[in-house]
Amino acid sequence: MTSSTSTAGSTRPPLGLLCAAQFMLVLDFAIVNVALGAMQRDLGFTASGLQWVVGAYALFYGGFLLLGGRAGDVFGRKRMFVTGLAVFTIASLVGGIANEPWILVLARAVQGLSAAAVSPAVLAMIAGGFPEGPERVKAMGVFGAVSSAGFTGGVVAGGLLTEFLTWRAVMLVNVPVGILLVALAARRLLADHKGTGSAKLDLPGAILVTSAMCALTYGLTEASDEGWGATSVLVSLGGGAALLIAFLIVQTRVSGPLVPLSIFRNRALSAGNGIAFLSGGVMSVSTFFITMYMQQVLGYSALRASMGFFPQAFVVFLASLPVVKLTHKLGARNVLIAGGVLLAAGAALLAQVTADSSYWLGVLPGGVLIGLGVTVMMISTAIAGTSGVSGPQMGLASGLFNSSRQLGVGIGLAVGVALAGVVHGAKVATIPVSGFQGAFWFTTGLSVAIVVVSVLGLRRTAVASAAHTAPATAPAAAPAGGGEKKATVGAPATAK
Protein backbone atom coordinates (compact mmCIF):
# COMPACT_ATOMS: atom_id res chain seq x y z
CA MET A 1 0.00 0.00 0.00
CA THR A 2 1.40 3.30 -1.01
CA SER A 3 1.73 6.25 1.28
CA SER A 4 0.55 8.82 -1.18
CA THR A 5 -2.83 10.05 -2.21
CA SER A 6 -4.08 10.90 -5.62
CA THR A 7 -7.23 12.44 -6.84
CA ALA A 8 -6.78 10.62 -10.09
CA GLY A 9 -6.86 7.26 -8.40
CA SER A 10 -3.54 6.12 -9.86
CA THR A 11 -2.22 5.42 -6.37
CA ARG A 12 -3.94 4.11 -3.31
CA PRO A 13 -4.23 6.09 -0.06
CA PRO A 14 -3.26 4.40 3.24
CA LEU A 15 -6.72 3.02 4.00
CA GLY A 16 -5.83 1.88 7.52
CA LEU A 17 -4.67 5.34 8.58
CA LEU A 18 -7.71 7.07 7.09
CA CYS A 19 -10.14 4.61 8.67
CA ALA A 20 -8.39 4.96 12.05
CA ALA A 21 -9.05 8.70 11.95
CA GLN A 22 -12.69 8.12 11.00
CA PHE A 23 -13.02 5.56 13.79
CA MET A 24 -11.87 8.17 16.32
CA LEU A 25 -14.34 10.76 15.05
CA VAL A 26 -17.32 8.42 15.14
CA LEU A 27 -16.28 6.91 18.46
CA ASP A 28 -16.05 10.41 19.95
CA PHE A 29 -19.72 11.00 19.20
CA ALA A 30 -20.81 7.71 20.75
CA ILE A 31 -18.38 7.52 23.66
CA VAL A 32 -19.93 10.39 25.60
CA ASN A 33 -23.44 8.91 25.72
CA VAL A 34 -22.88 6.56 28.65
CA ALA A 35 -20.87 9.26 30.45
CA LEU A 36 -23.69 11.84 30.26
CA GLY A 37 -25.02 10.99 33.72
CA ALA A 38 -21.60 11.44 35.31
CA MET A 39 -21.05 14.69 33.42
CA GLN A 40 -24.40 15.98 34.64
CA ARG A 41 -23.68 15.13 38.27
CA ASP A 42 -20.14 16.49 38.23
CA LEU A 43 -20.63 19.73 36.30
CA GLY A 44 -24.27 20.44 37.15
CA PHE A 45 -25.78 20.37 33.68
CA THR A 46 -29.46 21.17 33.30
CA ALA A 47 -31.59 18.73 31.30
CA SER A 48 -31.63 20.89 28.18
CA GLY A 49 -27.95 21.70 28.58
CA LEU A 50 -26.98 18.04 28.79
CA GLN A 51 -28.13 17.21 25.27
CA TRP A 52 -25.78 19.90 23.94
CA VAL A 53 -22.82 17.72 24.93
CA VAL A 54 -23.97 15.51 22.07
CA GLY A 55 -25.75 18.15 20.00
CA ALA A 56 -22.95 20.73 19.85
CA TYR A 57 -20.57 18.16 18.37
CA ALA A 58 -23.12 16.91 15.87
CA LEU A 59 -24.30 20.34 14.74
CA PHE A 60 -20.88 21.92 14.25
CA TYR A 61 -19.68 18.72 12.64
CA GLY A 62 -22.64 18.61 10.29
CA GLY A 63 -22.94 22.34 9.73
CA PHE A 64 -19.34 22.83 8.60
CA LEU A 65 -18.78 19.54 6.80
CA LEU A 66 -19.75 21.12 3.50
CA LEU A 67 -17.21 23.89 4.00
CA GLY A 68 -14.66 21.31 5.15
CA GLY A 69 -15.19 19.22 2.04
CA ARG A 70 -14.87 22.25 -0.20
CA ALA A 71 -11.78 23.44 1.68
CA GLY A 72 -10.16 20.07 1.03
CA ASP A 73 -10.81 20.49 -2.69
CA VAL A 74 -9.29 23.99 -2.64
CA PHE A 75 -6.40 23.78 -0.15
CA GLY A 76 -5.55 20.10 -0.34
CA ARG A 77 -7.01 17.19 1.59
CA LYS A 78 -3.83 16.30 3.42
CA ARG A 79 -3.58 19.82 4.81
CA MET A 80 -7.18 19.77 6.04
CA PHE A 81 -6.76 16.26 7.44
CA VAL A 82 -3.65 17.05 9.48
CA THR A 83 -4.81 20.50 10.65
CA GLY A 84 -8.23 19.20 11.62
CA LEU A 85 -6.79 16.30 13.62
CA ALA A 86 -4.44 18.65 15.49
CA VAL A 87 -7.28 21.00 16.49
CA PHE A 88 -9.48 18.03 17.42
CA THR A 89 -6.77 16.75 19.75
CA ILE A 90 -6.41 20.13 21.48
CA ALA A 91 -10.18 20.46 21.91
CA SER A 92 -10.29 16.98 23.46
CA LEU A 93 -7.71 18.06 26.02
CA VAL A 94 -9.70 21.20 26.90
CA GLY A 95 -12.91 19.20 27.25
CA GLY A 96 -11.20 16.66 29.46
CA ILE A 97 -10.12 19.28 31.99
CA ALA A 98 -13.30 21.40 31.81
CA ASN A 99 -14.72 22.54 35.15
CA GLU A 100 -17.82 24.33 33.82
CA PRO A 101 -20.64 23.04 31.59
CA TRP A 102 -20.11 25.77 28.98
CA ILE A 103 -16.42 24.90 28.62
CA LEU A 104 -17.24 21.26 27.88
CA VAL A 105 -19.94 22.23 25.38
CA LEU A 106 -17.57 24.70 23.71
CA ALA A 107 -14.86 22.04 23.49
CA ARG A 108 -17.37 19.65 21.94
CA ALA A 109 -18.33 22.32 19.39
CA VAL A 110 -14.66 22.82 18.44
CA GLN A 111 -14.26 19.05 18.19
CA GLY A 112 -17.16 19.01 15.76
CA LEU A 113 -15.74 21.92 13.77
CA SER A 114 -12.35 20.26 13.40
CA ALA A 115 -13.92 16.89 12.61
CA ALA A 116 -15.71 18.66 9.76
CA ALA A 117 -12.29 19.24 8.18
CA VAL A 118 -11.09 15.67 8.70
CA SER A 119 -14.04 13.48 7.78
CA PRO A 120 -14.73 14.72 4.22
CA ALA A 121 -11.01 14.56 3.50
CA VAL A 122 -11.01 10.92 4.60
CA LEU A 123 -14.00 9.98 2.48
CA ALA A 124 -12.77 11.99 -0.52
CA MET A 125 -9.32 10.40 -0.41
CA ILE A 126 -10.85 6.93 -0.22
CA ALA A 127 -13.41 7.57 -2.96
CA GLY A 128 -10.87 9.40 -5.13
CA GLY A 129 -8.14 6.82 -4.61
CA PHE A 130 -10.24 3.80 -5.58
CA PRO A 131 -11.97 3.71 -9.00
CA GLU A 132 -15.75 3.44 -8.94
CA GLY A 133 -16.84 -0.16 -9.17
CA PRO A 134 -15.79 -3.22 -7.14
CA GLU A 135 -12.64 -1.60 -5.72
CA ARG A 136 -14.49 1.41 -4.36
CA VAL A 137 -17.28 -0.80 -3.00
CA LYS A 138 -14.73 -2.76 -0.97
CA ALA A 139 -12.93 0.36 0.26
CA MET A 140 -16.21 2.06 1.15
CA GLY A 141 -17.30 -1.13 2.83
CA VAL A 142 -14.24 -1.01 5.09
CA PHE A 143 -14.94 2.68 5.76
CA GLY A 144 -18.56 1.96 6.67
CA ALA A 145 -17.67 -1.04 8.80
CA VAL A 146 -15.13 0.99 10.76
CA SER A 147 -17.69 3.77 11.23
CA SER A 148 -20.35 1.40 12.54
CA ALA A 149 -17.81 -0.29 14.82
CA GLY A 150 -16.78 3.12 16.16
CA PHE A 151 -20.39 4.05 16.84
CA THR A 152 -21.29 0.97 18.86
CA GLY A 153 -17.83 0.37 20.31
CA GLY A 154 -17.76 3.94 21.59
CA VAL A 155 -20.73 3.28 23.86
CA VAL A 156 -18.99 0.27 25.42
CA ALA A 157 -15.69 2.14 25.78
CA GLY A 158 -17.47 5.11 27.35
CA GLY A 159 -18.86 2.96 30.14
CA LEU A 160 -15.55 1.28 30.85
CA LEU A 161 -13.63 4.55 31.00
CA THR A 162 -16.29 6.29 33.10
CA GLU A 163 -16.53 3.45 35.60
CA PHE A 164 -12.84 2.69 36.11
CA LEU A 165 -11.41 6.19 35.58
CA THR A 166 -13.75 9.16 35.20
CA TRP A 167 -15.95 10.75 32.55
CA ARG A 168 -12.95 12.97 31.73
CA ALA A 169 -11.18 9.93 30.30
CA VAL A 170 -13.68 9.73 27.44
CA MET A 171 -12.32 13.08 26.25
CA LEU A 172 -8.67 12.66 27.17
CA VAL A 173 -8.33 9.29 25.43
CA ASN A 174 -8.33 11.18 22.13
CA VAL A 175 -5.16 13.08 22.99
CA PRO A 176 -2.50 10.36 22.58
CA VAL A 177 -4.40 8.80 19.66
CA GLY A 178 -4.70 12.18 17.94
CA ILE A 179 -1.00 12.95 18.36
CA LEU A 180 -0.08 9.57 16.86
CA LEU A 181 -2.41 10.00 13.88
CA VAL A 182 -1.13 13.52 13.17
CA ALA A 183 2.46 12.23 13.14
CA LEU A 184 1.61 9.32 10.86
CA ALA A 185 -0.44 11.47 8.49
CA ALA A 186 2.29 14.09 8.18
CA ARG A 187 4.71 11.33 7.19
CA ARG A 188 2.61 8.96 5.09
CA LEU A 189 0.29 11.26 3.16
CA LEU A 190 1.76 13.18 0.27
CA ALA A 191 0.40 16.62 -0.53
CA ASP A 192 -2.43 16.19 -2.98
CA HIS A 193 -3.58 18.42 -5.82
CA LYS A 194 -5.04 21.74 -4.76
CA GLY A 195 -7.68 23.74 -6.55
CA THR A 196 -7.03 26.83 -8.56
CA GLY A 197 -6.10 30.06 -6.90
CA SER A 198 -9.33 31.65 -8.05
CA ALA A 199 -11.44 29.13 -6.14
CA LYS A 200 -13.43 30.60 -3.27
CA LEU A 201 -14.87 29.25 -0.07
CA ASP A 202 -18.48 30.09 0.64
CA LEU A 203 -18.01 31.08 4.29
CA PRO A 204 -21.32 33.05 4.44
CA GLY A 205 -23.13 29.95 3.23
CA ALA A 206 -21.50 27.79 5.90
CA ILE A 207 -22.38 30.28 8.62
CA LEU A 208 -25.98 30.54 7.41
CA VAL A 209 -26.62 26.80 7.26
CA THR A 210 -24.95 26.13 10.63
CA SER A 211 -26.79 29.01 12.29
CA ALA A 212 -30.05 27.71 10.84
CA MET A 213 -29.48 24.23 12.23
CA CYS A 214 -28.46 25.56 15.64
CA ALA A 215 -31.51 27.84 15.81
CA LEU A 216 -33.85 25.01 14.83
CA THR A 217 -32.26 22.66 17.35
CA TYR A 218 -32.38 25.26 20.12
CA GLY A 219 -36.05 25.86 19.39
CA LEU A 220 -36.82 22.16 19.56
CA THR A 221 -34.85 21.88 22.80
CA GLU A 222 -36.67 24.83 24.36
CA ALA A 223 -40.00 23.29 23.38
CA SER A 224 -39.39 20.49 25.86
CA ASP A 225 -38.88 23.12 28.59
CA GLU A 226 -41.27 25.92 27.70
CA GLY A 227 -43.89 24.39 25.40
CA TRP A 228 -44.39 24.78 21.67
CA GLY A 229 -46.22 28.11 22.00
CA ALA A 230 -43.47 29.89 23.97
CA THR A 231 -42.03 33.03 22.40
CA SER A 232 -38.46 31.73 22.57
CA VAL A 233 -39.49 28.56 20.76
CA LEU A 234 -41.38 30.36 18.00
CA VAL A 235 -38.60 32.91 17.49
CA SER A 236 -35.93 30.19 17.32
CA LEU A 237 -37.85 27.97 14.92
CA GLY A 238 -38.93 30.91 12.76
CA GLY A 239 -35.40 32.32 12.73
CA GLY A 240 -33.95 28.94 11.81
CA ALA A 241 -36.37 28.56 8.92
CA ALA A 242 -35.55 32.08 7.70
CA LEU A 243 -31.81 31.40 7.86
CA LEU A 244 -32.26 28.17 5.94
CA ILE A 245 -34.20 29.97 3.20
CA ALA A 246 -31.50 32.65 3.10
CA PHE A 247 -28.89 29.92 2.68
CA LEU A 248 -30.70 28.46 -0.31
CA ILE A 249 -31.02 31.91 -1.89
CA VAL A 250 -27.31 32.61 -1.37
CA GLN A 251 -26.42 29.30 -3.02
CA THR A 252 -28.18 30.37 -6.22
CA ARG A 253 -26.43 33.75 -6.41
CA VAL A 254 -22.78 33.34 -5.39
CA SER A 255 -20.13 32.34 -7.91
CA GLY A 256 -18.67 29.56 -5.76
CA PRO A 257 -21.61 28.16 -3.74
CA LEU A 258 -21.04 25.86 -0.80
CA VAL A 259 -23.61 23.51 -2.32
CA PRO A 260 -24.22 23.86 -6.06
CA LEU A 261 -27.89 22.90 -6.05
CA SER A 262 -27.50 21.21 -9.43
CA ILE A 263 -25.64 18.37 -7.71
CA PHE A 264 -29.00 17.11 -6.49
CA ARG A 265 -29.83 16.15 -10.07
CA ASN A 266 -27.87 13.03 -9.17
CA ARG A 267 -30.74 10.91 -7.92
CA ALA A 268 -28.59 8.43 -6.05
CA LEU A 269 -26.73 11.19 -4.24
CA SER A 270 -29.96 12.96 -3.26
CA ALA A 271 -31.57 9.80 -1.93
CA GLY A 272 -28.36 8.73 -0.20
CA ASN A 273 -28.19 12.03 1.64
CA GLY A 274 -31.83 11.82 2.66
CA ILE A 275 -31.25 8.35 4.05
CA ALA A 276 -28.09 9.53 5.82
CA PHE A 277 -30.08 12.31 7.52
CA LEU A 278 -32.81 9.91 8.67
CA SER A 279 -30.38 7.21 9.82
CA GLY A 280 -28.41 9.81 11.80
CA GLY A 281 -31.60 10.59 13.70
CA VAL A 282 -32.29 6.91 14.31
CA MET A 283 -28.78 6.32 15.68
CA SER A 284 -28.71 9.33 17.99
CA VAL A 285 -32.23 8.92 19.41
CA SER A 286 -31.98 5.18 19.94
CA THR A 287 -28.55 5.34 21.59
CA PHE A 288 -29.46 8.27 23.85
CA PHE A 289 -32.75 6.81 25.06
CA ILE A 290 -31.51 3.24 25.43
CA THR A 291 -28.70 4.62 27.58
CA MET A 292 -31.04 6.74 29.70
CA TYR A 293 -33.56 3.90 30.06
CA MET A 294 -30.93 1.52 31.39
CA GLN A 295 -29.62 4.10 33.85
CA GLN A 296 -32.88 5.74 34.96
CA VAL A 297 -35.44 2.90 34.80
CA LEU A 298 -33.30 -0.21 35.20
CA GLY A 299 -30.92 1.54 37.61
CA TYR A 300 -27.76 0.49 35.78
CA SER A 301 -24.39 2.08 36.47
CA ALA A 302 -22.40 3.57 33.60
CA LEU A 303 -20.36 0.37 33.34
CA ARG A 304 -23.36 -1.94 33.35
CA ALA A 305 -25.15 0.27 30.83
CA SER A 306 -22.15 0.14 28.52
CA MET A 307 -22.08 -3.64 28.84
CA GLY A 308 -25.72 -3.58 27.82
CA PHE A 309 -24.54 -2.35 24.43
CA PHE A 310 -21.98 -5.12 24.08
CA PRO A 311 -24.32 -7.53 22.25
CA GLN A 312 -25.11 -4.76 19.80
CA ALA A 313 -21.42 -4.03 19.28
CA PHE A 314 -20.71 -7.74 18.79
CA VAL A 315 -23.44 -7.99 16.17
CA VAL A 316 -21.96 -5.01 14.34
CA PHE A 317 -18.56 -6.73 14.36
CA LEU A 318 -20.01 -9.95 12.95
CA ALA A 319 -22.26 -8.27 10.38
CA SER A 320 -19.86 -5.74 8.87
CA LEU A 321 -18.10 -8.04 6.39
CA PRO A 322 -21.32 -9.82 5.26
CA VAL A 323 -22.98 -6.43 4.70
CA VAL A 324 -20.05 -5.33 2.52
CA LYS A 325 -20.39 -8.53 0.46
CA LEU A 326 -24.17 -8.22 0.20
CA THR A 327 -23.92 -4.61 -0.91
CA HIS A 328 -21.42 -5.63 -3.55
CA LYS A 329 -23.64 -8.49 -4.71
CA LEU A 330 -27.18 -7.13 -4.34
CA GLY A 331 -26.64 -3.38 -4.63
CA ALA A 332 -27.05 -0.60 -2.11
CA ARG A 333 -30.77 -0.12 -2.81
CA ASN A 334 -31.83 -3.61 -1.78
CA VAL A 335 -29.54 -3.66 1.23
CA LEU A 336 -30.73 -0.24 2.41
CA ILE A 337 -34.36 -1.35 2.23
CA ALA A 338 -33.50 -4.36 4.39
CA GLY A 339 -31.57 -2.13 6.79
CA GLY A 340 -34.52 0.24 7.17
CA VAL A 341 -36.79 -2.70 7.95
CA LEU A 342 -34.35 -3.91 10.63
CA LEU A 343 -34.22 -0.45 12.21
CA ALA A 344 -38.01 -0.11 12.17
CA ALA A 345 -38.49 -3.54 13.74
CA GLY A 346 -35.90 -2.84 16.44
CA ALA A 347 -37.35 0.58 17.29
CA ALA A 348 -40.90 -0.82 17.41
CA LEU A 349 -39.77 -3.48 19.88
CA LEU A 350 -38.07 -0.85 22.04
CA ALA A 351 -41.28 1.21 22.03
CA GLN A 352 -42.92 -1.61 24.03
CA VAL A 353 -40.80 -0.95 27.15
CA THR A 354 -42.56 -0.31 30.44
CA ALA A 355 -41.45 0.52 33.97
CA ASP A 356 -41.31 -3.23 34.66
CA SER A 357 -39.48 -4.35 31.52
CA SER A 358 -36.24 -6.26 31.88
CA TYR A 359 -33.08 -5.74 29.88
CA TRP A 360 -33.31 -9.19 28.30
CA LEU A 361 -36.84 -8.78 26.95
CA GLY A 362 -37.26 -5.01 26.81
CA VAL A 363 -33.91 -3.74 25.52
CA LEU A 364 -31.80 -6.55 24.05
CA PRO A 365 -33.96 -7.74 21.11
CA GLY A 366 -34.63 -4.26 19.78
CA GLY A 367 -31.06 -3.14 20.45
CA VAL A 368 -29.59 -6.00 18.43
CA LEU A 369 -31.86 -5.24 15.46
CA ILE A 370 -30.88 -1.57 15.70
CA GLY A 371 -27.22 -2.63 15.65
CA LEU A 372 -27.75 -4.64 12.48
CA GLY A 373 -29.58 -1.75 10.86
CA VAL A 374 -26.89 0.75 11.86
CA THR A 375 -24.24 -1.46 10.23
CA VAL A 376 -26.19 -1.45 6.97
CA MET A 377 -26.72 2.32 7.09
CA MET A 378 -23.09 3.13 7.76
CA ILE A 379 -21.83 1.00 4.89
CA SER A 380 -24.47 1.33 2.17
CA THR A 381 -25.24 5.03 2.53
CA ALA A 382 -21.54 5.87 2.12
CA ILE A 383 -21.68 4.07 -1.23
CA ALA A 384 -24.97 5.63 -2.33
CA GLY A 385 -23.98 9.11 -1.15
CA THR A 386 -20.92 9.26 -3.41
CA SER A 387 -22.34 7.34 -6.37
CA GLY A 388 -21.81 8.88 -9.80
CA VAL A 389 -19.51 11.62 -8.47
CA SER A 390 -15.85 11.95 -9.32
CA GLY A 391 -13.06 14.44 -9.86
CA PRO A 392 -13.22 17.91 -8.29
CA GLN A 393 -16.65 17.36 -6.71
CA MET A 394 -15.71 14.34 -4.61
CA GLY A 395 -14.93 16.53 -1.60
CA LEU A 396 -18.31 18.24 -1.93
CA ALA A 397 -20.17 14.92 -2.19
CA SER A 398 -18.24 13.53 0.78
CA GLY A 399 -18.95 16.58 2.92
CA LEU A 400 -22.60 16.60 1.89
CA PHE A 401 -23.08 12.95 2.85
CA ASN A 402 -21.42 13.31 6.25
CA SER A 403 -23.18 16.62 6.85
CA SER A 404 -26.58 15.07 6.22
CA ARG A 405 -25.92 12.31 8.73
CA GLN A 406 -24.58 14.62 11.44
CA LEU A 407 -27.39 17.13 11.02
CA GLY A 408 -29.77 14.21 11.35
CA VAL A 409 -28.04 13.34 14.63
CA GLY A 410 -28.49 16.85 16.05
CA ILE A 411 -32.00 17.57 14.76
CA GLY A 412 -33.24 14.04 15.43
CA LEU A 413 -32.05 14.06 19.03
CA ALA A 414 -33.61 17.47 19.66
CA VAL A 415 -36.97 16.27 18.33
CA GLY A 416 -36.70 13.05 20.33
CA VAL A 417 -36.01 14.94 23.57
CA ALA A 418 -38.89 17.32 22.85
CA LEU A 419 -41.29 14.44 22.23
CA ALA A 420 -40.12 12.56 25.31
CA GLY A 421 -41.53 15.12 27.74
CA VAL A 422 -38.48 15.35 30.02
CA VAL A 423 -39.24 16.29 33.63
CA HIS A 424 -36.59 18.70 34.90
CA GLY A 425 -35.03 18.66 38.33
CA ALA A 426 -32.16 20.60 39.83
CA LYS A 427 -29.57 18.04 38.80
CA VAL A 428 -31.25 15.17 36.97
CA ALA A 429 -33.28 15.03 33.78
CA THR A 430 -36.02 12.45 34.41
CA ILE A 431 -37.74 10.86 31.44
CA PRO A 432 -41.17 9.29 32.05
CA VAL A 433 -41.77 5.80 30.66
CA SER A 434 -44.25 7.27 28.18
CA GLY A 435 -41.43 9.54 27.03
CA PHE A 436 -39.22 6.57 26.23
CA GLN A 437 -42.08 4.97 24.33
CA GLY A 438 -42.72 8.18 22.36
CA ALA A 439 -39.05 8.59 21.48
CA PHE A 440 -38.81 5.01 20.23
CA TRP A 441 -42.00 5.36 18.17
CA PHE A 442 -40.45 8.48 16.64
CA THR A 443 -37.39 6.37 15.82
CA THR A 444 -39.70 3.81 14.20
CA GLY A 445 -41.16 6.53 12.01
CA LEU A 446 -37.72 7.65 10.89
CA SER A 447 -36.83 4.06 10.03
CA VAL A 448 -39.99 3.59 7.96
CA ALA A 449 -39.10 6.80 6.11
CA ILE A 450 -35.70 5.24 5.26
CA VAL A 451 -37.50 2.33 3.60
CA VAL A 452 -39.76 4.69 1.66
CA VAL A 453 -36.86 6.84 0.41
CA SER A 454 -34.89 3.74 -0.55
CA VAL A 455 -37.80 2.30 -2.53
CA LEU A 456 -38.84 5.52 -4.26
CA GLY A 457 -35.55 7.39 -4.51
CA LEU A 458 -33.12 4.68 -5.59
CA ARG A 459 -33.51 2.99 -8.95
CA ARG A 460 -33.14 -0.70 -9.71
CA THR A 461 -30.31 -1.67 -12.02
CA ALA A 462 -28.87 -4.86 -13.39
CA VAL A 463 -26.99 -5.90 -10.29
CA ALA A 464 -25.27 -8.94 -11.66
CA SER A 465 -23.57 -7.16 -14.52
CA ALA A 466 -22.97 -3.90 -12.70
CA ALA A 467 -21.20 -5.54 -9.81
CA HIS A 468 -18.21 -6.35 -11.98
CA THR A 469 -18.15 -3.18 -14.00
CA ALA A 470 -14.85 -1.42 -14.54
CA PRO A 471 -14.34 2.11 -13.23
CA ALA A 472 -17.25 4.43 -13.72
CA THR A 473 -17.93 6.05 -17.03
CA ALA A 474 -19.37 9.07 -15.29
CA PRO A 475 -17.59 12.21 -16.42
CA ALA A 476 -15.46 14.06 -13.92
CA ALA A 477 -16.64 17.42 -15.13
CA ALA A 478 -17.01 20.16 -12.61
CA PRO A 479 -20.71 20.96 -13.22
CA ALA A 480 -22.57 19.11 -10.50
CA GLY A 481 -24.74 16.26 -11.58
CA GLY A 482 -24.01 16.88 -15.21
CA GLY A 483 -23.36 13.26 -16.08
CA GLU A 484 -25.61 11.54 -13.61
CA LYS A 485 -27.90 9.88 -16.09
CA LYS A 486 -25.05 8.11 -17.89
CA ALA A 487 -23.03 7.06 -14.87
CA THR A 488 -22.19 3.40 -14.52
CA VAL A 489 -21.31 2.89 -10.91
CA GLY A 490 -21.06 -0.82 -10.36
CA ALA A 491 -22.57 -2.41 -7.33
CA PRO A 492 -23.06 0.85 -5.49
CA ALA A 493 -24.79 2.15 -8.58
CA THR A 494 -27.76 0.02 -7.68
CA ALA A 495 -28.43 2.91 -5.36
CA LYS A 496 -28.63 5.17 -8.34
Question: Which residue would you say has higher pLDDT here, 350 or 371?
Answer: 350
The proportion of the chain whose per-residue pLDDT surpasses 90, expressed as a percent, equals 18
Segment 27-41, tens digit of pLDDT: 877 778 778 778 888
Residue 460 has pLDDT above 80, yes or no: no
Residue 243 has pLDDT above 50, yes or no: yes
Residue 488 has pLDDT above 50, yes or no: no
Residue type at position 448: V
pLDDT score, position 258: 75
Tell me if the domain spanning 15-189+258-495 has CATH number 3.40.50.720. no
The proportion of the chain whose per-residue pLDDT surpasses 70, expressed as a percent, equals 76
Q: Is 413 left (phi over 0), alpha (psi -120 to 50) or beta?
A: alpha
Residue 210 has pLDDT above 90, yes or no: no
pLDDT score, position 471: 33
Q: What is the pTM of this model?
A: 0.71
Q: Please provide residue 224's backbone torsions phi and psi, each rounded to the nearest 5 degrees.
A: -70, -20
For the chain, state the CA radius of gyration: 21
Residue 196 has pLDDT above 80, yes or no: no
Average pLDDT, the chain: 76
pLDDT score, position 278: 92
Residue 310 has pLDDT above 70, yes or no: yes
Do strands 423-424 and 429-430 pair parallel, antiparallel, or not at all (unpaired)? antiparallel
Contact 366, 347 (CB under 8 A): yes
Contact 69, 124 (CB under 8 A): yes
Contact 292, 33 (CB under 8 A): no
Q: At what angle do helices 203-226 and 394-420 cross, to 10 degrees?
A: 10
How far is it, in rounded angstroms, from Cα 387 to Cα 403? 16
pLDDT score, position 364: 93
Segment 138-180, tens digit of pLDDT: 777 677 677 767 766 777 777 788 878 888 988 898 899 999 9
Give counts: helices (H), strands (E), the chain. Answer: 18, 2
Least confident of 13-22, 182-191, 257-266, 366-375: 257-266
Segment 324-353, tens digit of pLDDT: 778 777 777 888 898 999 999 999 999 999
Contact 487, 397 (CB under 8 A): no
When pLDDT is cut at 50, 70 and 90, the band that residue 216 belongs to is: confident
Average pLDDT, integer, range 392-416: 73
Segment 353-362, tens digit of pLDDT: 999 999 999 9
Average pLDDT, integer, range 371-381: 80
Greatest mean pLDDT among 117-126, 379-388, 416-425, 456-465? 117-126
Residue 213 has pLDDT above 70, yes or no: yes
Q: 377 has which bridge partners?
A: none
